[in-house]
């Protein structure tokens, strides 16, 4: 049984090759008769108005921000979870403190309306 990343690399390359072959085969098989209407941007048949840069709401950024906070938490908590059975009571109390502090962050974001999707 392998335990290294070599297979992951091989898997990445193999998947890329197989899918690339599928794409190329499709490109060879399919007809190619482009015209201006086909190549225009699809908007249910309407003419495109304005450029693609519609105004985005900062809400997306704020949600990504909260996500980043929990991602950070995860990367630190996973090694601790692996070592969980050999932790002292004191250590576990500190981990719980860590999680509770992050819960406070979440509650703050909630209070500030960062989690509301209006």
Partner 1 sequence: MTVQQVLFIVISLVVLGAALFVVTTRNLFRAALMMMLAFFGIAGLFVLLEIGLFAVAQVLIYIGAISILVIFAVMLTRGMQGMVPRNSQAIGAAVTAAIIFAVLLLILGPLRVTIDLARWPVISLFAGNASPREVGGIAWTPADRAIPPVPETYIADFGRALVDLNQYLLPFLLIAFLVDVVLAGAIFIARQRRPAEVIEERRLRAEEDAEEAEAMRRASASPALPEGAVASAVDH
Partner 2 sequence: MNPINDLLKILSDFVAGIVSGIFAFSPFLADLVTMGLAAVILCTFAALSFMGLTYVERKVVARIQDRLGPNQAGPFGLLQPIADGIKMFTKEDTTPANADRWVYNLAPLVIAIFALTTYAVLPFAPGVVGTNLNVGVFYLIAIGSGSIVAILMAGWGSNNKYALLGAFRTVAQLVGYEVPMLLNVLPVVMMAGSMSLVDIINKQTTLDGNPGIPFIVFFPLSALVFLISGIAETGRSPFDLLEAESEIVAGFHVEYSGMKFALFFLGEYVNALAVAFVFSTFFLGGYAGPILPPYVWLLLKAALIFFIFMWLRGTLPRIRIDQMHNLNWKFFVPVSIVHLVVVMALMKLFVTDPAQAEAFGGILVAPIVQAVILFVASMTVLLVSLAIAARRARVLRLQEEAILEQRRAENLAAARA
Partner 3 sequence: MQNVLNGIPLWWYLVVSSALFCIGLYGTLARKNAIALLMGVELMLNAANINLLAFWRYLAPDTAGGLAFAAFVLVVAAAEAAVGLALVISVYRTTRSIDPETLDQMKL
What DSSP designation does 54 have?
Answer: P
Q: What is the DSSP letter of 5?
A: S
Q: Which does 105 bind (CB under 5 to 8 A by kind): partner 2, partner 3, partner 1, none?
A: partner 1
Structure tokens at 42: 């699809």
Residue among 42 and 90 whose Cβ is closer to partner 1: 90
Q: Is 94 one of the binding residues for partner 1 (CB under 8 A)?
A: yes
- If the CB atoms of residues 65 and 96 are measured against partner 3, the closer one turns out to be 65
Tokens 């989690």 label which residue?
Answer: 115
**Contact status: 90 vs partner 1 (CB under 8 A):** yes
Residue closest to 62 by CA, chosen among 114, 3, 1: 114
Residue 71 as a binder of partner 1 (CB under 8 A): the answer is yes
94 is in the binding site of which of partner 3, partner 2, partner 1, none (Cβ under 5 to 8 A by kind)? Answer: partner 1
Structure tokens at 36: 């201006």
Phi, psi values for residue 73, rounded to 5°: -55, -45
**Interface with partner 3, residue 68, by CB under 8 A:** yes
């Amino acid at each position: 049984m392998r335990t290294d990343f070599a297979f992951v690399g091989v898997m990445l390359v193999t998947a890329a090759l197989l899918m690339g072959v599928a794409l190329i085969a499709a490109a060879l098989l399919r007809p190619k008769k482009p015209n201006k209407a086909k190549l225009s941007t699809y908007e249910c048949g309407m003419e495109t108005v304005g450029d693609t840069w519609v105004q985005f709401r900062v809400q997306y950024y704020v949600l990504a921000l909260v996500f980043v906070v929990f991602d950070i938490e995860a990367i630190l908590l996973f090694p601790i979870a692996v070592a969980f059975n050999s932790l002292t009571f004191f250590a576990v109390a500190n981990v719980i403190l860590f999680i509770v502090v992050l819960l406070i962050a979440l509650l703050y974001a909630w209070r500030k309306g960062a989690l509301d999707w209006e």
